[in-house]
Amino acid sequence: MAHEVAKRLPGRTIGEVRNALREVGKNAEIHDVSLHDVTFNLKDANPHFVINRKEVPCNETGMRVWGDYFGIPTSFFKRMGTELSLAHQADLLDGFHQVAGGSVVRVAYNDAGLIRVDEPGRQLIEPVQLLDIAADVLGSDDSEITRMIDTQAEFAFDVRVSEQANYGIGGDMPGDAQVGDITAGGLGFTYNRKLNHAPSVESYLYRLVCTNGMRRRDPGLRVDGRGQTVDEVLAEINAMARQAFSRVESDIRHFYDLREVKVANPERELIAIARDHGIPDRSLNRLTKLASSEALPDEPTRFDLVNLITNLANDPAIRNDGGRLILETVGGSVIEDHSARCGHCHSKVIDD
């Protein structure tokens, strides 16, 4: 589970993912060692690392961990192993290992293999601690994780309340239950492990039928972890997560209110939205083509445009997570944007 990238995790709950992560780190040994005391025996019949005179089995996670530590681009390193061989990856690691000399690293490993490599002395937040906060704020271990990234460099996940949760407008999850159009509220967490920045949190909306997400980023919901202990940082994240989640109900109301905002020229409005919120040209071209097809109803609303944008994030052609996040963030921005627009060019009308 650790250090894998899973973009969609339907049916995986906070409790299940947290237990899986704990299993990965079970019986872990953590030591500060010089790289002079680490060797890579990857061309043996049983590839392994020797760390402080102990043999640690080499697996895909271990290779990725060392690749991330040495700054080797993940996609390039993985492709090298797939298209060439483990031996080529081993030669590359050996080269970086020699350049690193006697640098001291903090390694975590168990009998199953290498878990993590970090700089010594760093105060690190464990992913399970963020999952604990999400469960606490959303009120359940059964809340569903819809997206997760777990690499040496980053841990991020989106989580939404379960259908069984007594949450939302009138005690039920908001939307039109008669047609199955229900939107669940949730949170999105991001933690840059490589730079060890304090995590950030944002509001997250998830349509259960279309499985498209929308996120609302607030620059104020970012912790400045400098000079703070891990416990102090976690307490701030918990408070900010509660603040972000408290906005979800009003965000969902605004989302469904967009059904009353008619759009006479969807292509032109998409161009204006792209200009205001930074949709890449390639994605905009695809959206305008979709807007002129049967993807939109005969009398579209801004609600339909938001769904067109966020549904594109699910398209297999959008291969990188950053591209998906841009589209989901634009969807959330349109929901909270109540600016008047020019009837001709659809640019925002700015009051004097």
- Locus of tokens 């399970």: 128
243 assigned to some structural domain: yes
- In the prediction, which pLDDT does 168 show? 44
Nearest residue to 230 via CA among 136, 114, 128: 128
- In the prediction, which pLDDT does 156 show? 92
Kindly report the pTM of this predicted structure: 0.77
Q: Which residues pair with 54 in a beta bridge?
A: 51
Q: Quick one: 267 and 329 in the same domain?
A: yes
Q: Quick one: 169 and 317 in the same domain?
A: no
15 assigned to some structural domain: yes
Q: Quick one: 228 and 265 in the same domain?
A: no
pLDDT below 50 — which residues of the chain? 1-10, 166-171, 178-179, 339-346, 348-352
Q: Decide which of 50, 75, 110 is a domain's last residue.
A: 110
296 assigned to some structural domain: yes
342 assigned to some structural domain: no
- DSSP code string of 196-260: TPPPEEEEEEEETTT--EEEE--TTSB---TT--HHHHHHHHHHHHHHHHHTHHHHHHHHHHGGG
Distance CA 95, CA 150 (A): 26
Q: Quick one: 217 and 100 in the same domain?
A: no
Contacts within 8 Å (CB) and 24+ apart, 279-285: 279/309, 279/326, 279/327, 279/330, 280/323, 280/326, 283/312, 283/318, 283/323, 283/326, 283/327
Q: Which domain holds residue 78?
A: 28-110
Q: Quick one: 265 and 231 in the same domain?
A: no
The H helix count followed by the E strand count for the chain is 11, 14
140 assigned to some structural domain: yes
Q: Decide which of 250, 269, 291 is a domain's last residue.
A: 250
Q: Quick one: 86 and 143 in the same domain?
A: no
- Locus of tokens 């959206």: 287
In the three-class reduction of DSSP (H, G, I as helix; E, B as strand; rest coil), residue 71 is classed as coil
Q: Decide which of 110, 132, 167 is a domain's last residue.
A: 110
- DSSP code string of 246-312: HTHHHHHHHHHHGGGSB-S-HHHHHHHHHHHHT--HHHHHHHHHHHTTTTS-SS-BHHHHHHHHHHH
Q: Quick one: 150 and 14 in the same domain?
A: yes
Q: Quick one: 55 and 71 in the same domain?
A: yes
131 assigned to some structural domain: yes
Length of the chain, please? 352
**H or E segment to which residue 32 belongs:** strand 29-34
Nearest residue to 70 via CA among 30, 106, 37, 100: 100
- In the prediction, which pLDDT does 172 show? 54
Q: Quick one: 87 and 165 in the same domain?
A: no
Q: Quick one: 83 and 207 in the same domain?
A: no
51 assigned to some structural domain: yes
42 assigned to some structural domain: yes
How many distinct structural domains can be found in the chain?
Answer: 3
Q: Quick one: 173 and 73 in the same domain?
A: no
Q: Measure Cα distances from 50 to 28, 39, 71, 125, 154 in Å.
A: 16, 5, 21, 27, 26
Q: Quick one: 239 and 131 in the same domain?
A: yes
With beta carbons less than 8 A apart as the criterion, state whether 105 and 31 touch: no
Contacts within 8 Å (CB) and 24+ apart, 264-268: 264/343, 265/346, 266/291, 266/296, 266/300, 266/304, 266/305, 267/291, 267/292, 268/345, 268/346
In the three-class reduction of DSSP (H, G, I as helix; E, B as strand; rest coil), residue 43 is classed as coil
With beta carbons less than 8 A apart as the criterion, state whether 308 and 290 touch: yes
